[in-house]
A and B are shown apart, each in its own frame.
Chain A
Amino acid sequence: MKKLITLTICALIGMTAYGATVQRTILSHKGQLTTYDANHWKDAINDAVAGDTVYFTSGVFGDGTADDNLVIDKVVTLIGAGVAESDASFRDIAAYDGCATTGASTVLATNITIAIPGSPRLKSTLMEGFVVPSYYGFEPSVTISEPVTDLIIKRCQFGEYLRATAKVKGLVLEGCSVGRLVVDSNMENPDVHNCLVGNLYANAEGIEYTNCVFYGIEGAANCTFENCIMNSNRGNPDYCTYVNCLYLNWVSFGDHNSTEGCWAIDDVNLTESQLQLGGYIGTDGTVVGPLGGPAPFTLIPSHPYVESSSVTYNKSTKKLNVKVTVKKGK
């Protein structure tokens, strides 16, 4: 009878764990895996060496306070579980229509500082599949504070600032959502494509943005917007070129801007099929905005991921019944 207590506790644990993963970071070093529990998740990055990969399960990492800071100070790859639609920024926009979702996010509720010493040139993606939200009572930012070349960030959602305080050459920002993107003289030749940008603070000239949607732009002199959707021109960019862009018909571009093959309509919040039907096709033959172009916007990871799962212990057979649906990455 006293075993009933054990059974009750086990049942409680079993119920809470049913179908859910246990939050962990996993360090992959030359094929060897080391697992870190959620209270020591940063140790995976601390213990990593150049070339390693750190995987994150879904869940919330970081304590959600302004004091928390994740410092990435080595050439590693951080892979999150992806972004659930409920955690996505600007989730009311049509770009998410038809997007496959993982149903679970890896949330980094912390500031992130990318500070890799030695001005390295990176050869692989630094971050993919994370949400850094702005709804934890503070505004976590992503700051690149040491010089770096070819820094690649893919499929991440940054609710607040992404900025550089040191020279960043060839930043690739692909399929990301950024609340506040600061592109200033520290960013040399950034490649920003297929992104959703809340507000672009473009203090650097001559930058080209491809297949993005913008909700507000400040600065942006002498920039080129190709195959983009301009949901606002707050801040009045000047001397810019717009090629095959879709913009709101009440937007006034001013005398110094030039447009080529652009469209002005009442509502630019269109799904992919609506863009197709409207003939809003970019210079590359795909729809304008994040859903077209070289890397169509998606919330799912590029690597295989679990869509649904059920792991239960059968007491009578003493067997573990595993039912998991795995989707290929996109």
Chain B
Amino acid sequence: MKGRHIFQLCLALLLCYPLLLKAQSTQTNYQYWIDDNKEEAVYETADGEDIDLSIDVSALSPGVHFYNMRAYETVGTKKKWGTTYRYLFCIPRSQQETADRLITGYTYAFEGNSPTVEVFDSPVEEYSLSEYLSVPQAPLPMVIDDDCSFMFD
């Protein structure tokens, strides 16, 4: 009786093995990290090819941030890493409900160049920046340095 149970268990495992293998092969192993905090990289496994995440970034400061991710396949005992993908996202500053001060102008700068300062003739409550900025040197597409910052007085 005991031998029969063992036989049935082995048979079940044998039959399930291909399914287990298939399930393993469709998984996607990857890691991600925010900005340059590679030490805090999170390892995850997704079922299938699609990664669908909702990451709490409420602790991040307003401004430009980066989501980095890379996937790997296991070849034997080694991990075969794909290239790193780096996505830019921006967290806006929290908006005030009412304006108790007026905007008198703005300043901007590219790289380490001297900032351009624009002062309005008269202060305004609201201003939309919608002009073409003169870029000092033609950048490569999609280049925004890690230290990129926008400042408003």
Contacts and interface: CB of A to CB of B under 8 A. Distances in A.
Interface of A: 1-11, 13-14, 16-17, 20-24, 26, 28, 32-33, 35, 37-39, 53, 55-57, 59-61, 79-81, 129, 301-307, 309, 311-313, 315, 317-329
Interface stretch (B2-10, B14-22, B98-106): B98-106
B109 interface: no
A55 B55 contact: no
Contact of B57 (A11, A59, A313): A313
A246 B59 CA distance: 63
A329 B152 contact: no
Interface residues of B, number: 64
A17 B127 contact: no
Contact of B50 (A24, A81, A325): A325
A328 to B, nearest CB: 6
Contact of B125 (A1, A318, A323): A1
24 contacts: A1-B103, A5-B106, A5-B128, A10-B90, A14-B90, A16-B142, A22-B86, A28-B81, A35-B36, A57-B84, A59-B140, A80-B83, A129-B83, A304-B73, A306-B71, A306-B85, A309-B85, A313-B90, A320-B54, A320-B57, A322-B53, A324-B51, A326-B28, A328-B73
9 closest Cβ contacts across the A-B interface? Answer: A17-B88, A1-B99, A304-B82, A304-B71, A55-B83, A318-B58, A311-B87, A10-B90, A322-B53
B59 to A, nearest CB: 9
A14 B86 CA distance: 14
Contact of B69 (A2, A16, A35, A324): A324
Contact of B128 (A8, A14, A56, A311): A8
Contact of B87 (A17, A81, A129, A303): A17
Nearest to A81: B83
Contacts of B141: 23, 59-60
A303 B81 contact: yes
Contacts of A33: 38, 84
A257 B125 CA distance: 84
A322 B52 contact: yes
A311 to B, nearest CB: 4
B89 A14 contact: yes
Interface string B36-65: 101000000010011111111110001010
B89 A312 contact: yes
A1 B126 CA distance: 5
B142 A321 contact: no
Given A57-B83, A313-B57, A318-B58, A20 B142 contact: yes
B143 A23 contact: yes
Contact of A4 (B49, B67, B83, B127): B127
Nearest to A16: B142
A5 B53 contact: no
Contacts of B66: 22
Given A22-B87, A322-B54, A328-B49, 14 more contacts: A1-B125, A5-B103, A5-B129, A6-B93, A8-B128, A10-B92, A17-B88, A23-B142, A24-B86, A55-B70, A57-B86, A318-B91, A322-B51, A323-B52
